[in-house]
Amino acid sequence: MSSTLPLPFFGGTCTKAAFSFSLKSSSPLVPFQRLHLFGSTSRTTTRIRSSLFHSLKAKATAELVQDKESGVVATGKPVVEHSRTFVEARSEQELLSGLRKEVDAGRLPPNVAAGMEEVYQNYRNAVFQSGDAAAVGVVLSNMTVAFDHWLLDVEDPFVFEPYHKALREPFDYYMFGQNYIRPLIDFRNSYVGNLSLFYEIEEKLKQGHNVVLISNHQTEADPIIISLLLEKTNPHIAENMIFVAGDRVITDPLCKPFSMGRNLLCVYSKKHMYDIPELAEMKRKANTRSLKEMALLLRGGSKIVWIAASGGRDRPDPFTEEWYPALFDSSSVDNMRRLIEHSGRKRNWRKKNYHLSWGWIINSTTNQLPRNCRCL
């Protein structure tokens, strides 16, 4: 797994041995996970992926801006006849040759096709490391669905509202994400600690309380991983958690189908507010709308919201290359505090609304992640 890549990518070249450690906290009630992921052995670089994202982001953001400014959802568009090239693939060769077919037909941009092929190779390598006898079939099945929906979004791009509710029909994007990431998790060596706390959270949600999980963030697959590790014991939390999401996962064509299966509050990160200077004002207005949506949700009660208060994923130190948990942005924490205080559900948010830190413990032979977590 590489934390520099977005959700569909799990490639890396680190060869250092895996490590295991524990989190010490002054509170025994920290939601705690120990996670082991199967990592890709692929030596491919992120050059294609980076080029793909940056070449499409400006266009995608501009289109998203236009839709948001007009206040009109992208509906009423001419019906696009969807190609069945990938759905009909019965082997790896047919699937990959389908990329060339779609590029030649002008239905798929060459850079998107290159990114899709890179995803396939990284995903295939990672799943094969699991030792699952059915790995070949799993990879072909999951990647066939992924290719088909990436092409579908190129043909008819989906536009996210400030508050996006997971799409479960006619195609179940939630289960698509679950099934795609599931083979990458070594469940035999992964567990959720303090499980009783999640049962308590479910009871509080039933009583109308709001719950906010404030955590660090390592990979864009975090929302799906959380759901996978809770789906058997706490399916209500797994399926109803609302994630505060940055613009990358709602504009990158290779991330969008996974994002469509999650409940999202879409915001623009302050770190990238001025990446395209002429869009900065629009981004601020969009964030204001998203905050209003969050306020309305919290007033209704029984909501569980996850936010990475550092504003993005954890990064390695540029000099030591050691991974460390990014510091929380105090303004993000204060915004959540104010929203809770004005939700009207309970007057004393400290006693009646539960703000919890999420401690991640990652053990992987292909990635070095934080040796400690900063808990709020």
Maximum distance among all Cα pairs of the chain, rounded to whole angstroms: 61
**pTM across the whole model:** 0.76
pLDDT recorded at residue 314: 80
> Do residues 339 and 284 lie in contact, with contact meaning Cβ atoms separated by under 8 Å?
no
125 and 105 within one domain: yes
- Provide, rounded to the nearest whole percent, the portion of the chain with pLDDT above 70: 72
Half-sphere exposure of 321 (CA within 13 A, CB side): 4
**Residues with Cβ within 8 Å of residue 65, at least 6 apart in sequence:** 279, 282, 286
- Do 201 and 126 share a structural domain? no
Per DSSP, what are the bridge partners of residue 35?
362
**Does residue 126 lie within any of the structural domains?**
yes
Binning pLDDT at 50, 70 and 90, where does residue 77 land? low
How does pLDDT run across 218-235, given as a tens digit for each residue? 888 999 999 999 999 999
Tell me how far apart the alpha carbons of residues 306 and 201 are, in angstroms, rounded to a whole number: 13
Is 319 in the same domain as 226?
yes
pLDDT of res. 309: 82
Q: Are residues 247 and 312 in the same domain?
A: yes
Asked, for residue 1, whether it belongs to a domain, the answer is no
**Which residues make beta-bridge pairs with 164?**
264
* pLDDT at residue number 371: 32
Of the candidates 126, 157, 188, which is a domain's last residue?
157
**φ, ψ dihedrals at 318, nearest 5°:** -65, -20
In a domain, 58, yes or no: no
Instruction: Choose between 209 and 342: higher pLDDT.
Output: 209
Read off the CATH number of the domain in which 288 is found: 3.40.1130.10
Residues 222 and 262 in one domain: yes
Residue 291 maps to a domain: yes
- Residue 50, domain member (yes or no): no
What is the spatial distance between Cα 16 and Cα 365, in angstroms, rounded to a whole number?
Answer: 6
Respond yes or no on whether the N-terminal peptide bond of residue 6 is cis (omega within 30° of 0): no
Please say which residue of 157, 186, 205 terminates a domain: 157
Residue 283, in any domain of the structure: yes
148 is catalytic: no
Asked if residue 119 belongs to a domain, the reply is: yes
Determine contact, residues 323/314, Cβ cutoff 8 Å.
yes
pLDDT one-digit tens code per residue, 151-186: 999 999 999 999 999 999 999 999 999 999 999 999
The closest of 375, 36, 313, 35 to 193, measured between CA atoms, is 35
Same domain, 193 and 332: yes
Q: Considering the domain boundaries, does residue 322 fall inside one?
A: yes
Note the pLDDT of residue 331: 79
Mean pLDDT of the chain: 77
Considering the domain architecture, whether residues 114 and 201 belong to the same structural domain is answered as no
- CATH, residue 94: 1.10.1200.50
Q: Which helix (H) or strand (E) holds 123?
A: helix 110-128
Q: What is the pLDDT of residue 79?
A: 60
Annotated catalytic residue: which of 67, 104, 132, 156? Answer: 156
My answer on whether 86 and 219 are in the same domain is no
Asked if 109 and 251 sit in the same domain, the reply is no
Q: How far is CA 295 from CA 242, 292, 343, in A?
A: 13, 5, 6
- Which tens digit of pLDDT belongs to each residue from 253-301? 999 999 999 999 998 877 778 788 898 898 889 888 998 999 999 999 9
Q: Which domain holds residue 205?
A: 159-368
Same domain assignment for residues 192 and 106: no
Mean pLDDT of 189-197: 90
Q: Is 308 helix (H, G, I), strand (E, B) or coil?
A: strand
- Closest by CA to 268, choosing from 254, 281, 291, 284, is 284
C-beta of residue 166 within 8 angstroms of C-beta of residue 202: no
Total structural domains in the chain?
2
DSSP lists the bridge partners of residue 358 as 215
User: Which of helix, strand or coil describes residue 259?
Assistant: helix
Same structural domain, 188 and 336: yes
One domain for residues 181 and 297: yes
Strands 263-266, 163-164: pairing kind = antiparallel
